[in-house]
Structure 1
């Protein structure tokens, strides 16, 4: 990884270790700078209150100019209209709305907000078809962002 990108990741890692937002916890044994696991806890008062989920972040050589790959890891993947049962997430800030001003922390807060605002637990309507195609990385998907109500 290029020097300035490495510094950026080191700073974000240190910030998450020192003062993580409520409901966000960096896995204690994070040793690789290019791949992190972060634990999310559903917010009180939401459908996911107290539930625990794991996110895997993979950072490419162009981070933060390019978004990281972010997926939920099983076995406890949240059932949500924008999260597929294979852990892939349909969230515009991870793809076409990415900005280098965003961070790991802002992604985690966006995901917690997305979960908190969900009116029901259900997979996306095309879940079975999408998962059957067995795309290895969600970054290889051409997402259509048309529904921001869930």
Structure 2
């Protein structure tokens, strides 16, 4: 039986994570499921308004990943809250062009995490616009 495209790709990405690790401030919390991964995101640097805060990012992959973008949200539950950010709704949904018309199949789960880490690091004021 042939593996679906997303399974092959995610197995490769997981192998890379296991062999090479992840960048500083990005920690895999759950990668057991082929359909859903969770990463802990810490914003690095002393100048960030999120210093000392951690956010859980959930990625849900469809059968068409990486052709289609995964569903990406910050977790909002008893343990984690989404960041107070102009492009993050209170329910954790993210408004970013990378998840729409700027999605590219070359992006990976880790590169999505890096993008979210960078988005948070560049924010200067904790507020919601969306």
Task: Report what 2:63 is aligned to.
Answer: 61
Equivalent runs, 1:1-150 vs 2, <5 Å? 2-18=3-19, 19-27=21-29, 29-44=30-45, 45-74=47-76, 75-124=80-129, 126=130
Distance 1:2 1:100 in 2: 18
Look up the SS of the partner of 1:37 in the other structure: strand
Unaligned runs of 5+ in 2: none
Q: What is the CA RMSD across the aligned residues, in angstroms?
A: 1.6
Q: Scaled by the length of structure 1, what TM-score is found?
A: 0.77
Residues 50 and 121, structure 2, Cα contact 8 Å, conserved in 1: yes
Distance 1:52 1:17 in 2: 22
Distance 2:104 2:31 in 1: 25
The number of residues matched between the two structures is 124
Unaligned runs of 5+ in 1: 127-150
Residues 42 and 112, structure 1, Cα contact 8 Å, conserved in 2: yes
